Amino acid sequence: MYHRKNIAPFLISTLAVISVFMLSFYIPKAQNKTSVGSFKISEVQDRTVSVEEQIITFETYDLKTIHTIRLVISGTYGSIVLIPKIKNGQPIFSIPPTFTKYAGSIAFYLIQHEKVLQDGVFNLLPKTTEIGLIENYLGPRSIVANDRDHTMLVSIPTDIYDNLLPDSMNIEIKTQFKNTITISTKELTSGFAWKRIPAPLVTGRISTGSTLGDVSSKELVADIFPDVAQDFSISVNSNHSYADGNEIISLQTTQIKDKRGNIMTDGTLVSFMMTDETGAYWQTNTTTVNGFAFAKTLHPQTPTTWKISATISGIASSQEINQTFVSILDTIPVMTLQNRQVLVGPLTSYLGQLVQDGIIVSFQIDGATYTKLTTNGKVSFDVKQEDHPKGNYNVIIQTLGLETTQNISLD
């Protein structure tokens, strides 16, 4: 969750604690922490982080033997041994900025000839007067419009040196949904503050942000999607109910919503399922636009009744409706021509027009079945003599849901 830069102080602080723990094993304990010989550093007070070196002065010292004195510092970036410097005729220790710009505890040990003369701990405090930035984390970024879901915003402010700020500082967490803005004041705990944001009951987008003083975070947003869809209705629309294999029938749902009236998100998958009188089953899939789903399919070529329903798989479904298709023909005209050719047609539709090309016609003779597609409303079958010798035959012709039996004579 934390930014890489923000994780660093935690890891470094942990290393510092380990360093202090390890140092306690090999640094001898002070025999007299107030004064041994002529060396004692001044009391070290807590101080604010800085990119400048930090000075530690002596309360008592002996310039003649100052070269025997060392100060071991253990802080957020590990440990270092400092050698005293002479400034304006007085000895000092200078802690480098490597240590002084990162907040945390600093342990120190004043050592002479492997003996600890003095030890202690002081703190480097974050620079609360200069806020660097506020890192915000929001998740999940998409939630559902119900009373069970929520998202959470976590804010992590830091000073200009990327140090976490101390506990009990207040940060303002702001959320906006439609025309409502909510401002919450949260105390920092362990360097961060958080707020659980419940899902609104209507779809939209939540915008979030945080401010501390005059520093603001970036805006983060979460999308609110509809809850699960409720059952819906379907309807069919067509210019006629003839089984011509040519006309298009349109299928449509009512507007699909959740229980609170939120319209389903565009792209929700809806499946229309159809079953005819023979038990054949097929489906067509489509997606919603503004909550509506539309699909189209061709009329059958044979009279039948379809059972039509629609579903959003595992979530919601429609009622089942029936759609009946009637034949476009009353009879099938058949002619026997010369040269052993049988002509079926012309086939005419409900207005007397020729049926469209590609209508399937089945021709059965003497146990053999032949199939062809119409052209200009007609189809012809050539009966070969080697397959069917001279004689009279009963033939069965099927097309567009009709069947007729004819007796033909073959030379």
Concatenating the DSSP letter of every residue in 17-55 gives HHHHHHHHHHSPPPS-SS-BTTBEEPP---EE--SS-EE
Torsion angle in degrees (nearest 10) through CA of 28, 33, 38, 44: 110
- 367 Rama sector, left if φ>0, alpha if ψ -120 to 50, beta otherwise: left
pLDDT at 385: 85
> CA-to-CA distance for 377 and 192, rounded, in angstroms?
80
Cβ burial of 344 (10 Å; 0-12, 13-18, 19+) is buried
CA distance linking residue 16 with residue 104, whole number of Å: 9
Q: Which residues pair with 30 in a beta bridge?
A: none
**DSSP 8-state assignment for residue 3:** -
pLDDT of residue 46: 94
Q: For strand 304-312 and strand 85-87, is the pairing parallel, antiparallel, or unpaired?
A: unpaired
Q: What residues are paired with 104 via a beta bridge?
A: 124
Instruction: Report yes or no on whether pTM surpasses 0.75.
Output: no
Residues 325/303, Cβ–Cβ less than 8 Å? yes
* Residues linked to residue 327 through DSSP beta bridges, in sequence order: none
> 207 near 175, Cβ under 8 Å?
yes
End-to-end CA distance of the chain: 91
CA distances from residue 346 to 124, 167, 190, 374, 398 in whole angstroms, order as listed: 101, 93, 89, 9, 14
- Determine the residue type at 335: M
Q: What pLDDT score does 95 carry?
A: 92
Report yes or no: 397 and 403 within 8 Å, Cβ to Cβ. Answer: yes
Rounded-to-integer distance, Cα 104 and Cα 77, Å: 10
Amino acid 332: pLDDT: 85
Query: Which candidate, 94, 88, 38, 83, places its Cα nearest to that of 64?
Result: 38
Measured from the Cβ of residue 147, the count of other Cβ atoms closer than 10 Å reads: 11
Amino acid sitting at position 398: Q
Sheet with 341-344, edge to edge strand ranges = 334-337, 341-344, 379-382
User: Which DSSP string do the residues of 118-149 spell out, in sequence order?
Assistant: EEEEEEEEP-TTSEEEEEEEEE-SEEESSSS-
What's residue 31's pLDDT?
38
User: Phi and psi for 83 in degrees, rounded to 5?
Assistant: -100, 135
| 112/65 Cα distance (integer angstroms) | 10
Contact, 85 vs 92, CB < 8 A? yes
pLDDT at 28: 42
pLDDT averaged per 10 residues, the chain (length 411): 41 41 41 56 93 93 93 88 93 91 93 94 94 96 96 97 93 96 96 96 96 95 97 95 90 97 96 94 96 95 94 96 91 79 86 85 90 91 86 89 86 76
Looking at residue 247, the DSSP 8-state letter turns out to be S
**What is the per-residue pLDDT for 246?**
85
Report the distance separating Cα 191 and Cα 187, nearest Å.
Answer: 9
Residue pointed to by tokens 């009963």: 394
Q: Domains for the chain: give ranges and CATH numbers.
A: 4-125 (2.60.40.10), 131-225 (2.60.40.10), 234-325 (2.60.40.10), 334-410 (2.60.40.10)
Q: Give the position of tokens 């405090």.
A: 125
Site of tokens 């059958």: 300
